Each structure stands twice: as structure tokens, then as C-alpha cells.
């Protein structure tokens, strides 16, 4: 077959997926290491589950005529079982908790980190594979477990460098159910009744920041027409019913106690609502007793995260600093973590209610936030590059690299074509190398090597004056015996220069 007729595959990632290169992987690992230390300090154990689960274990995704493609990547195994890539880290935990319930301690406290997959339409910043970092407590009915999760999340955000730039908001599904009951859109004797109306109410509350009071009130009533003329059907609540819901959205006070007081007045005689308010009050007291003030964790009725999934307290961590969107407009960075209590998930396997609560951090979003604030603590510098001036002396160059490596310094010898020395320095630049080591025949005879400070050299080329060049040259010739000590000194000076 001629070369022209050979059909070659396209070198491109599948739609909705991406590749992660050196610095990104290094930064992610450093961030997760910092979070892991916090989780470990709290007594949580690591858990790694298979990337593949049975569709039956995943729960809400069931095989249809062809394949269960609603949100998951699934296929039928040769033994006729449907398998799927995990879409989160919680469903595998529920399976583990049920499968090993006689072996695991109760409560079981675990953290897990890794990729998950969603078979959804990709978009800008929205990928089909992304990383999550979860921590959960299974088997603890006390809301002290929920309070601890919030405290641990706050400590984790502090540990990665987000001090003063986040707020963790806490709400309760039971409180909202109580408000819905008082508003007449929840019947305790028939949970399915008014489900459509409740869905519209939940979505309306979640849009408060964007639509404001008037927009939410319209959605609670007959509906709302946006600026483009599109009409969104409302929940059909009366003015009195809508007023109950609006009172809930504005119940946040200056203190946790004040918020709880307002919520207690709103839920009136609702039993489930009263239970939720009591849980929020207990969480607020526990947080205050441990020194977690309103600058870090607050009771906020505006948190509505997938409340159909949660059974009690819910949490959301928002970053409060501003960034510029794709159109150059200022906006807050937004949510990077969320979670809550889900007491019914393990019940699918065991038939018995098992209390559970947890949090999930969006790894890619938090990493993007750290980059935006310039707070990534990862060392993304490349290796010291020992250049090759004479290919017949490769053993000498490898000896230099070995000395540097044995001293704990990341280093490599250039293994490309050494004919063009300029290409070797270009390679070092692409590798983000801090130092290049050079030894030609003359230097070898004199027992010296040349060290080129690539970081300083780049700075001098950009904006340094001639006097600065004289005071601190970017290239020095040193005795070969001083190689390790002088490279280390050069690396230390570069570290001190970093902002």
C-alpha cells in the first residue's frame, strides 16, 4: 500500500477529555498532599476503589434497550452484566460500606481522591473526566460528624493557601422541607405530591444571587420572562405561599443564633422543620466552641445543593475573591466543594438506613483558584541539565548527573543530538530548567565547569541593567570539585528571589 493511501489516526484527545502535563500534575499532587495531611490528622483513612462499578451498584442508572448511557460511560460485559466508569466517589463508597460492613469499623471514616467520568455534553471548562477529592463518615448519626466535616474542609482550604478567601455555607434539607410544608407544597403523607412545584421552588431559590428577589418571586408565582423574551413557567404559588419561601431565603442573620431563630419562626409547627433547625443550632454551637467563626463557616439558608439527594445538613464552600470571565467582567470564583448528609445511600444494598455524611472537593477548580491567586506551593522547576559538548565524554557527563542526583538535586544529562549547542539550551528552557552545566574540552583540562543560571539569565535579558549583570553574573566558571555545592547555592538564590 502506498504512503498516500495509509489512513493514519488523528492525534487528538477525544471530545471532552484533556491531557495533563508536568507542572499541572506536580501542582495537583502538591495540593492533594496538603489536603491529605489534614484528612489524616483528623483520623480519616485512605480508600482506593475500582474505576469500574456495576451499573446496578451505581444506582439511578439502569440499562435501557441498548445501553445505560444516561450520564455514565457503560458497556455490557461478556457475562451480560452492565459495567460503567464511576461518575463520583460516593457511590463506590456506599458499595464498599455494604460489602465490607462486617469488617470495617463503625463509624468508618475515609478519604478518596481520583478521576471520575461523566457521559455529558462537554463545554468550556467542562470535561468528561475530572478529579474529585472526597472525605466521608459512614455510620455516625450525630450532626457532630457534619460539623467535623465542615471544620476539616476549612482546615484543608487553609492548608492549600486559601486563608481568608473562602466561606463554607451550611443549610439543612429538613429545614427546607419544613418551609415547603408550611408553604403548602409538601404533604408529609404523600411525598410525591407537589414534586413538580417543589422542583421549581428549589431552582428558583438557587438563582437568588443571579435573579434577585423580584426574579425569584416571579418564578415562585406564575413565571418569569427574561430579557430575551423566553418565558420560564413558575411554581404557581399564591402570594402568601411565596412569602413563606421568600422569608426562608432572607433568613440569614448576622450570627448563627439569629439565623436559627428566624428559621424556627418560619417552620412554625412542622415537625421535620423543627428537627432541621435543631440540627443547625447544634452545628453552630459546635463550630463556635471549636473557634470556627463566621469568617469561615456560616449558617446560610440559600444553599440548595441537589437537595433531593441529601437527607439533612448540606454544605458548600465558595471562594470569595473576584476573577475576570471570558468577556472581561468581574465575578466571584464561586463554589469549589460541596456535600452533606445522605442517610439513604447504603440502604439500597442493605435494606437498613445507614447514616453517612461527607464532602467532595472539585480538584481542578480548586487548583485553578490557587493559580489565579498565585498560591500554588508546588515546585514546578525542571531538572538541572548537564549539556554534552563532546559525545565521547558521555561517561563524565553522566558522572556529574549522578553526583547531583545523589545529593538530592533533580538532574539529567542531555540525550538528544549534541551537535548544536544552542538546541541544548533551548531544550533546557522548554524543561523549565534552573541551571545548565557546561564542560567543554578546555574546561575538562583545567578541571572546571561552567554553571549557567537560566532563571537569572532570562530576568537579565528582560529588564536588568548592566550594573546588575556585573554584580551577579548569570554564568560562572567553578572548580569541578565544587559542582554540587555551587549548584545548590545557585538553586537556593533562585528560591529566595521568588515572590
Determine the pLDDT at residue 187.
81
> At residue 384, what are phi and psi to the nearest 5 degrees?
-65, 135
pLDDT at 360: 95
Inter-residue contact 292 to 273 (CB < 8 Å): no
CB within 8 Å of 62: residues ≥ 6 apart: 55, 56, 68
Fold of 22-51+86-190+236-373: BirA Bifunctional Protein; domain 2 (3.30.930)
Give 457-485 pLDDT, tens digit per residue.
Answer: 777 766 655 455 455 578 899 999 999 99
Q: What is the pLDDT of residue 61?
A: 47
Judged against a pLDDT cut of 90, whether residue 244 lies above it is answered with: no
Digit-coded pLDDT (tens) for 84-102? 999 999 999 999 999 999 9
353-369 mean pLDDT: 92
The mean pLDDT value of the chain amounts to 87
Q: Are 161 and 375 in contact (CB under 8 A)?
A: yes
Mark residue 498 as left, alpha or beta (left: phi above 0; alpha: psi -120 to 50; beta: remaining): beta
Q: Mean per-residue pLDDT for 422-450?
A: 93
**Around 308, how many Cα atoms within 13 Å sit in the side-chain half-sphere?**
11
Q: How many CB atoms lie within 10 A of CB 325?
A: 8
Residue 429 burial (10 A CB sphere; 0-12, 13-18, 19+): middle
Task: Please write the tens of the pLDDT for every residue from 397-417.
Answer: 999 999 999 999 999 999 998
Q: Is residue 2 pLDDT above 60, yes or no?
A: no
Share of the chain above pLDDT 90, in %: 49
Beta bridge partners of 84: 53, 74
Beta strands in 19-141 (DSSP E): 45-46, 52-54, 74-76, 82-85, 108-117, 129-138
Which numeric CATH code is attached to 384-497? 3.40.50.800
pLDDT band at 64 (very low <50, low <70, confident <90, very high): very low
- The arithmetic mean of pLDDT across residues 76-87, rounded, is 86
Q: Where are the domains of the chain?
A: 22-51+86-190+236-373, 384-497
- Asked if 149 contacts 358 with a C-beta cutoff of 8 angstroms, the reply is yes
Pure H helices in 386-482: 394-406, 421-430, 441-446, 454-463, 466-471
CB 386 within 8 A of CB 424: no
How many Å apart are CA 66 and CA 136, to the nearest integer? Answer: 35
Burial class of residue 462 in the structure, from the number of CB atoms within 10 Å of its CB (0-12 exposed, 13-18 middle, 19+ buried): exposed
- In this prediction the pTM is 0.83
Among residues 155, 190, 396, 192, which one has the least CA distance to residue 290? 155
Structure-model confidence comparison of residues 374 and 341, the more confident one: 341
Determine the Cα–Cα distance for residues 172 and 494; give it in Å rounded to an integer.
50
At residue 62, the pLDDT reads 39
- Structure confidence at residue 312 (pLDDT): 92
Give the tens place of pLDDT for each residue, 301-354.
888 766 567 889 999 999 998 776 666 677 778 889 999 999 888 888 888 889
Amino acid at each position: 500500500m502506498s504512503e498516500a493511501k495509509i489512513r493514519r489516526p488523528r492525534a487528538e484527545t477525544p471530545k471532552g477529555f484533556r491531557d495533563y502535563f508536568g507542572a499541572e500534575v506536580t501542582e495537583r499532587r502538591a495540593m492533594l498532599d496538603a489536603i491529605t495531611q489534614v484528612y489524616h490528622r483528623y483520623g480519616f483513612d485512605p480508600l482506593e476503589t475500582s474505576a469500574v462499578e456495576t451499573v446496578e451498584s451505581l444506582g439511578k442508572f439502569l440499562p435501557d434497550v441498548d445501553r445505560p448511557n444516561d450520564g455514565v460511560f457503560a458497556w455490557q460485559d461478556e457475562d451480560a452484566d452492565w459495567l460503567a466508569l464511576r461518575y463520583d466517589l460516593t457511590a463506590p463508597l456506599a458499595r464498599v460500606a455494604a460489602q465490607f460492613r462486617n469488617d470495617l469499623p463503625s463509624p468508618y471514616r475515609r478519604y478518596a481522591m481520583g478521576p471520575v467520568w461523566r457521559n455529558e455534553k462537554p463545554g468550556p471548562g467542562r470535561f468528561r473526566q475530572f478529579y474529585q477529592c472526597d472525605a466521608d463518615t459512614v455510620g455516625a448519626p450525630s450532626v457532630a460528624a457534619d460539623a467535623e466535616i465542615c471544620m476539616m474542609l476549612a482546615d484543608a482550604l487553609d492548608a492549600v493557601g486559601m486563608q481568608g478567601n473562602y466561606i463554607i455555607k451550611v443549610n439543612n434539607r429538613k429545614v427546607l422541607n419544613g418551609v415547603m410544608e408550611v408553604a403548602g407544597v409538601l404533604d408529609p403523607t404523600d411525598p410525591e405530591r407537589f414534586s413538580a412545584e417543589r422542583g421549581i421552588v428549589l431552582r428558583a431559590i438557587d438563582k437568588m444571587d443571579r435573579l434577585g428577589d423580584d426574579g425569584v418571586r416571579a418564578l415562585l408565582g406564575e413565571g418569569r420572562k427574561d430579557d430575551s423574551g423566553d418565558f420560564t413557567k413558575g411554581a404557581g404559588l399564591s402570594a402568601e405561599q411565596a412569602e413563606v419561601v421568600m422569608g426562608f431565603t432572607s433568613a440569614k442573620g448576622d450570627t448563627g443564633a439569629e439565623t436559627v431563630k428566624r428559621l424556627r419562626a418560619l417552620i412554625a409547627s412542622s415537625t421535620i422543620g423543627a428537627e432541621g433547625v435543631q440540627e443547625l443550632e447544634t452545628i453552630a454551637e459546635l463550630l463556635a466552641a471549636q473557634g470556627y467563626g463566621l469568617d469561615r463557616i456560616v449558617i446560610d439558608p440559600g444553599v440548595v445543593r441537589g437537595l433531593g439527594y441529601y437527607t439533612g445538613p448540606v454544605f458548600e464552600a465558595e471562594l470569595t475573591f473576584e476573577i475576570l470571565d471570558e468577556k472581561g467582567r468581574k465575578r466571584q470564583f464561586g463554589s469549589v466543594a460541596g456535600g452533606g448528609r445522605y442517610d439513604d445511600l447504603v440502604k439500597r444494598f442493605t435494606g437498613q438506613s445507614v447514616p453517612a455524611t461527607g464532602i467532595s472537593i472539585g480538584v481542578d477548580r480548586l487548583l485553578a483558584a490557587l493559580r489565579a491567586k498565585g498560591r500554588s506551593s508546588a515546585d514546578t522547576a525542571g531538572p538541572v541539565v548537564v549539556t554534552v559538548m563532546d559525545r565521547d565524554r558521555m561517561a563524565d557527563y553522566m558522572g556529574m548527573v549522578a553526583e547531583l542526583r545523589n545529593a538530592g538535586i533533580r538532574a539529567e544529562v542531555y540525550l538528544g543530538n549534541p551537535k548544536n549547542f544552542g538546541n541544548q539550551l533551548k531544550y533546557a528552557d522548554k524543561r523549565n530548567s534552573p541551571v545548565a552545566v557546561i564542560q567543554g574540552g578546555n574546561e575538562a583540562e583545567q578541571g572546571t565547569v561552567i554553571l549557567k543560571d537560566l532563571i537569572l539569565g532570562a530576568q537579565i535579558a528582560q529588564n536588568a541593567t548592566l550594573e546588575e549583570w556585573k554584580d551577579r553574573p548569570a554564568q560562572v566558571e567553578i572548580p569541578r570539585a565544587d559542582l554540587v555545592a555551587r549548584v545548590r547555592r545557585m538553586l537556593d538564590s533562585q528560591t529566595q528571589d521568588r515572590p
